[in-house]
Amino acid sequence: MRKNVIWWPAMKNQDLIDKYGGYDYFKYSRQTWEYWCKRNDVLFVPFENPVEEDLFRFRPNWQKTIFVFDELERMGIEYDQIALMDSSTMIKWNAPNFFNLTGNKFTAWRDSDNLKWIYDSISGYKDFFNGYKLDITRYFSSGLIIFNKNHKELFDRFKQFYLDNIEQLIKLQDNTVKKGTEQTPLNYFVQMEGTEINMDLPVAYKLTHIHRKEMFNHNWQLNEDKTPFFIKYGYNWVFNGIPKDQRTRLMGETWNLVKEKYNVDEAKYDVILDLTSHRNIERKTTSRKFKKDVLKTFLNDEYKDKTIVEIGCHKGNSTKFLSKIFGKVIAIDKWHLEDAKEHCSDCKNVEFVNMDLYYDNWGEFINEDVDVVFIDGGHEYWQVKSDIENSFRHFGSPIFIFDDYGLPPGEVKKAIDEKVNEGKLTINKFIGETPKGLVHISGIKFFDIEGCICNL
């Protein structure tokens, strides 16, 4: 199966170790990209061992570009699109998947942060390319480019171009232009070949020269939020244009600010949680943490073929994530089924039931074995009590998941605690958000934790 690929060059040129202040910054970049790739079902491919050992004649920036297709084929990797990504970048944990935005075209970002550098570089190579007039408004950075198999011949020709002109290009790089390595020659090559370039993706996906944009700062007027602007508003943070010996320190400080967001072992949960809305957006649903706690409990082989009944599915936000856990979801509601069906249109294991939970006979609508019941219907004491008793009556001894345990005035908690005191329920774990900052759609602040799991 073909996958999109992050091609992540991280070769260590020991002759330049002092210039770069070491290569410890690689680990900060790598940890962010490994997490993002797992979360977005993208293949992370590090390019750490050079194809050519002579890093003077075959510098890492050239090797990462001219050998990318050769190396992927040598590794036997079936690929769809390839993003060539510098190791001086860090991707935000929840950055949207930019592969979905390329239109399957050669995609790059305009480079306009240091126009003098760009102008001098273009001018320095102009004679070498027979006076070709490069369109500076289409000049792109090679620190992030996205391409696919349709561009293999382009890269093959670019590789041959380098091999045929290696001595002249080294001389230009070191003695004449002294501005970059492969970036400007690649721009000339792509424009002269007439390659169609998509340059319409937002700058947030390649936020360069952070210091020039003053994005290491935060909004001093918001004393409660000191998050730097680049973290809040950027998706892909590029630590370029700063003194190279400061890169490791700055990337390390950034990592220390955000590292709790990157847990590769939990990326499988985030993939599912990204599919639906949570209490911060759609208030008549559960929080992201509530859903993650449910995933951590039930997303395993033991429950993958079991059936859950959702008592009160509303617009289907919980229904959608439950469909990724259980073999079958029976979603019950009286008023919002059309919205729920639309939201869950791609969920083939969901059965929607139009039923009044408190006046209809459950047995007339549900006639199968049920293993788990998620109760999130009416929130008055008598309604929650009815849902619990009907579940016991029709499903035997199911596992219960409850939302809004700590919602004032305490009707949900009262019904649950009553059954606990009767020995009918055992609270195995509390789940979701704590009362701090947890507010219901009505504006009422919770007085206890969001939910619980019983009879597990």
CATH of the domain at 72: 3.90.550.10
Tokens coding 115: 């126009």
Total of domains in the chain: 2
Cα(284)–Cα(279) distance, integer angstroms:
7
Q: Are both 128 and 148 inside the same structural domain?
A: yes
| CATH number of the domain that residue 362 is part of | 3.40.50.150
Give the H/E segment covering residue 61: helix 60-66
37-48: b (≥16 Cβ within 10 Å) or e: bbbbebbbbbbe
Same domain, 54 and 77: yes
89 and 193 co-located in one domain: yes
**Structural tokens at position 432:** 């979701």
- pLDDT-based confidence at residue 423 (cuts at 50, 70, 90): very high
- Binned at pLDDT 50, 70 and 90, residue 241 comes out as confident
One domain for residues 103 and 185: yes
Among 71, 91, 14, 4, residue whose Cα is nearest residue 43? 4
The per-residue pLDDT for 1 is 73
- pTM, two decimals, is 0.82
Q: How many helices (H) and strands (E) does the chain have?
A: 16, 15
Residue 440 confidence class, pLDDT cut points 50, 70, 90? confident
Is 34's pLDDT higher than 80?
Answer: yes
Residue 291 sits in the same domain as residue 373: yes
Q: Of the residues 233, 262, 291, which one is the last residue of a structural domain?
A: 262
Instruction: Read off the pLDDT of each residue in 426-430 and give the average, rounded to a whole number.
Output: 98
Is 258 exposed, middle or buried, given 0-12, 13-18 or 19+ CB atoms closer than 10 A?
middle
Tell the residue number behind the tokens 């260590």, with chain if given.
Answer: 12
Mind giving me the DSSP string for 121-159? HHHHHHTTTTT----GGG-EEEEEEEEEGGGHHHHHHHH
Which range, 88-97, 110-119, 208-217, is most confident? 88-97
336 confidence band (pLDDT: 50, 70, 90): confident
Residues 351 and 449 in one domain: yes
The position carrying tokens 């039931």 is: 353
Residues 215, 277 within the same domain: no
Return the percentage of the chain with pLDDT > 90, whole number.
82
Q: Which amino acid is at 346?
A: D
Pair 250, 290 in one domain: no
Mean pLDDT confidence for 75-102: 96
Residue 229 domain boundaries:
3-262
CB 278 within 8 A of CB 317: yes
Instruction: Calculate the CA 122 to chain-centre distance.
Output: 36
- pLDDT value at position 296? 96
Provide the phi-psi class of 443: left if phi over 0, else alpha when psi is between -120 and 50, else beta.
left
Last residue of a domain, one of 210, 237, 262: 262
Q: Give per-residue burial for 309-331: e unless 16+ CB within 10 Å, then b.
A: bbbbbbbbbbbbbbbbbbebbbb
The size of the chain, in residues, is 456
Q: How far apart are CA 338 and CA 147, in angstroms?
A: 40
- Give the list of residues 6+ apart from residue 292 with CB closer than 8 angstroms, or none: 266, 269, 273
7 and 145 share one domain: yes
Of 262, 279, 305, the one marking the end of a domain is: 262
Same domain, 146 and 86: yes
pLDDT tens digit sequence for 113-132: 889 999 999 999 999 999 99
Averaged confidence pLDDT in the chain: 93
Span 339-363, average pLDDT: 94
Q: Structure tokens of 336? A: 């919002």
Residue 318 contacts residue 291 (beta carbons within 8 Å): yes
Is the preceding omega at residue 9 within 30 degrees of 0, hence cis? no
User: What is the share, in percent, of the chain residues with pLDDT greater than 70?
Assistant: 100
Q: Within this chain, do residues 248 and 271 fall inside the same structural domain, yes or no?
A: no
User: 248 and 317 share a domain?
Assistant: no
In b/e form, how buried is each residue of 334-362, taking b as 16+ CB within 10 angstroms?
A: eebbeebbebbeebeebebbebebeeeeb
